[in-house]
Structure 1
Amino acid sequence: MISVVSKTLYEKVMVPTYSPAAIIPVEGKGARCWDQNGTEYIDFAGGIAVNALGHCHPALVDALTRQANRLWHTSNVFANEPAIRLAQALTNVSFADRVFFSNSGAEANEAAFKLARRYGITTGGSEKYEIVANTNSFHGRSLFTVSVAGQPKYSEGFGPPIEGIRHVPLNDVDALEAAVSHRTCAVVVEPIVGESGVLPAEQAYLQRARELCDKHGALLIFDEVQTGMGRLGTLFAYEHFGVVPDVMTLAKAIGCGFPLAATLVKEEFAGHLGRGTHGSTFGGNPLACAVGEAALQLINQPDVLDGVRMRHSRLVSALKALGTRYGLFSDVRGLGLLIGCVLSPAWKGKAGDVVNRCLEHGLMVLQAGADVVRLAPSLVIEEDEIDEGLTRLAIAAMTLQRS
């Protein structure tokens, strides 16, 4: 018996870890999507900052198709050409010398944290295993990464958390200085804390983290899963802030929707994850790396990166005006095309309601906590698509104001 593919069937057959929207998208092109009923949506969500080049970019489709007709998978028993090429391309455009490929941001961060612990214990003894991270950060859903993130809602109910994690508020330099010591193997920072409100780190905080890591022989890890690959108008966020980490993690936009992630490491630290210490069956898959190589070539272009900054100005000025007109937003913050619209006191705690109302009017947006609506559209979204999306957001705001 063939069942109708629907939200009802989803709720019957899927493990209930998610609560997806009522609609089911079935097609996408550029910054537009269509659901099962043919209803069109402007996509300001970007698959949570994943679809950096929009939906079904022709160059990515071509790269995937060509590789699909050649070689799908060999495992890491063998090297493959797309992975080697992509690793070289990433090291050519970044501070890093070595790359470990995996499939998701959680896996990339897991590799980074394991590397940090192994490095710390090897160089500083059995007590040098502490990781200093920010409260209300997000680094993935494995047991290690939720422990590092410091959000009890993600870690409670799974037994004892990983030991040796210290949490400090983002941009609190005094707290950071008090937490980092000779026992610290790594300081990990999201250049913009995305899931908890689109909160940018301050350059002074990142610089002090760099200095403390140098002083105490710890690794500085930047989680660029959400901010990397052009999202801020520079290829990587560390370039925007002018602070260079020792390790950087990438996912989301590196594959533009095809599962791919990477942990980038300086030469002097890479050897601490030697043969047999870590691995991934699918990491560096030829299909994923072929897409990643094409995506990197397209994103790392001056017109694309300059365009991100132009689109930021266009969106933020319009969002501020719209928020004031309808009393919806009290602030608009963020960098590049990672934007957080802070809800006004009247709408505090109702980000989910705003997201749902926008969807009803043909606009896909995200939330970042209960009080912030998050936008992470394609880096190459067209001006008319921005304007149409803003028109739909205004209609949604007007209906919310009247409700």
Structure 2
Amino acid sequence: MQTNLSEQAKRLPRAAEAERILRSCVHCGFCTATCPTYQLMGDELDGPRGRIYLIKQLLEGHEVTAKTQLHLDRCLTCRNCETTCPSGVQYHNLLDIGRAVVEEKVHRPLGERLVRESLRALVPRAGLFKALTHAGQACRPLLPEALKAKLPRQPHPARPRPEPRHPRRVLMLEGCVQPALSPNTNAAAARVLDRLGISVAAAPRAGCCGAVDYHLNAQERGLERARRNIDAWWPAIEAGAEAIVQTASGCGAFVKEYGHLLRDDPVYAARAERVAALAMDLVEVLGREPLERLGIRAGKRLAFHCPCTLQHAQKLGGAVEAVLARLGFELTAVPDSHLCCGSAGTYSLTQPELSRRLRDNRLDALESGRAEVIATANIGCQTHLDGAGRTPVRHWIELVEEALD
């Protein structure tokens, strides 16, 4: 795509990257066929190709309006388009660049600013989020339906974790909301890893991965969180930790971007690249282990929802299904398994109507095989799908751990 950046755009920190991505797009339109919002809206500007044109226009010096912001906001960043694209367009990076420019040029209404600032103040603070979640559970009958849907229907308390006792050790990103909304997920992962001879080392100073801030256009704040995590993990990495495990694919996708996002940081570039190389979704660790040693007695009929951050960002589509099949679980067929459920981080709160429509469509597909339970690999998808009050939704590792002898 022919591109002529404005003089102002050429001064942006990621100007060369933006121009390279724009030039790689041949505007073939293959991406529109797999874009969830284009399928719902039928508007070219609510598909990847249209949004690329909008970003091209703003970087070439054309007027930026609230309409531009709306169409960019409606993008789920599911990256389905990247899986489809024959030219390898790195759409999500271009979108980050475009959104940051629009955020500076378009003044958001007060209501939108309050929602976004509240999310950034609350979600990354695990302790505060947990306290508010517990308060919400206590007051559940009094809450509006929209808030009730964000609370766990059937909380599964965290069971004790084994003490580190094996020579093989990994780090684990605990996450922001998962300890409150699904507190047993990381504990279950630690117990399964322990059965395989792998211990989870503590890194108490590590916190939010930075994705919430970054994707709400507070990008420098998101990178500061990334740097803080690198510092927190580095002593264990130097001591021989073999991986940084994530049980939430959304966090994992962002941690794997640390090397790219901090590549120009003279202090953190090398360490960020090392951290990104060590970042692994839980399924990557388990998939290479002798799972037969676990002695699983699988009896449940499952439908697996593969999060976008797992299949499109991390390119691990089918990996969890393969592990579950090895362990003897019965998996139902899921139509259109490449499509997004509408959770997309904070999207279900910033774009609730579109998010609900996508959720209901996904649940119809997941339930078509009459599964007893829906399994997934990301806390956002888990909470969003389960909030509909239909088939129960759990993290897959909890189902595995429950089936241990």
| TM-score above 0.5, yes or no | no
TM-score (norm 1): 0.27
Where relative contact order (Cα < 8 A, 6+ residues apart) is larger, the structure is 1
TM-score (norm 2): 0.27
